[in-house]
Chains A and B, each alone.
Chain A
Amino acid sequence: TQLLEQSPQFLSIQEGENLTVYCNSSSVFSSLQWYRQEPGEGPVLLVTVVTGGEVKKLKRLTFQFGDARKDSSLHITAAQPGDTGLYLCAGPPWGGNEKLTFGTGTRLTIIP
């Protein structure tokens, strides 16, 4: 079973601060996806990173895929209350099918 461990599990910071969320595995993934889930809703896809070392930016969010394709990070600059939610990383195993392995999740709260 391929696992994706996320850290921290919980994070509560003030509006305007920066933060980084990590997603780590001992296994190689062909790509990694990041989702955000708000209370009472399903997860929503934010980004997919495909190439080892790839960096993608989505406004104040920066996503990076590790060179070895075993880890990823999400950095948020100047966090806003609208960033509050559960952040999930997910990926299909190397050479695998469409079935995603989901990370353990990071619950982020931004305090106004």
Chain B
Amino acid sequence: DVKVTQSSRYLVKRTGEKVFLECVQDMDHENMFWYRQDPGLGLRLIYFSYDVKMKEKGDIPEGYSVSREKKERFSLILESASTNQTSMYLCASSRTGRGYTFGSGTRLTVV
């Protein structure tokens, strides 16, 4: 089975901590994405990457950064976690012209 694997299903972090969310895909997809999903707001794109070491801002990049050093891995970094970053974080990958494959999500709570 092809997969997008997110490192944690649940995380609880303190305000001000630096948080790393890891995502790995085994499908050799060139495109990878980070979304957050909040009730009433739907899926909002944070960052995406078309290739190794390439990244582009999505709709809500403030407070986040990303790293893609290898094709299969796309990391989302919360530089200094805040309570308004409590959310469900979804990673996805795709081959150009095809639909997305999503991970199971990481539910992050910042206290």
Interface residues, chain A, with chain B CB atoms under 8 Å away = 33, 35, 40-45, 48, 88, 90, 97-100, 102-105
Contacts and interface: CB of A to CB of B under 8 A. Distances in A.
Interface residues of B, number: 22
Given A98-B48, A99-B48, A104-B42, A45 B90 contact: no
6 contacts: A42-B103, A43-B90, A45-B100, A45-B101, A88-B42, A98-B48
B64 interface: no
Interface in B91-111: 92, 94, 96-105
B58 A99 contact: yes
Contacts of B96: 98
B48 A40 contact: no
B94 A98 contact: yes
Interface of B: 4, 31, 33, 42-43, 45, 48, 50, 58, 90, 92, 94, 96-105
A79 B39 CA distance: 25
Contacts of B92: 42
B42 A43 contact: no
Given A42-B90, A103-B42, A104-B42, A98 B50 contact: yes
Contacts of A99: 33, 45, 48, 58
B90 A98 contact: no
Contacts of B100: 33, 35, 43, 45, 90, 100
A100 B98 CA distance: 11
A85 B92 CA distance: 19
Nearest to B59: A1
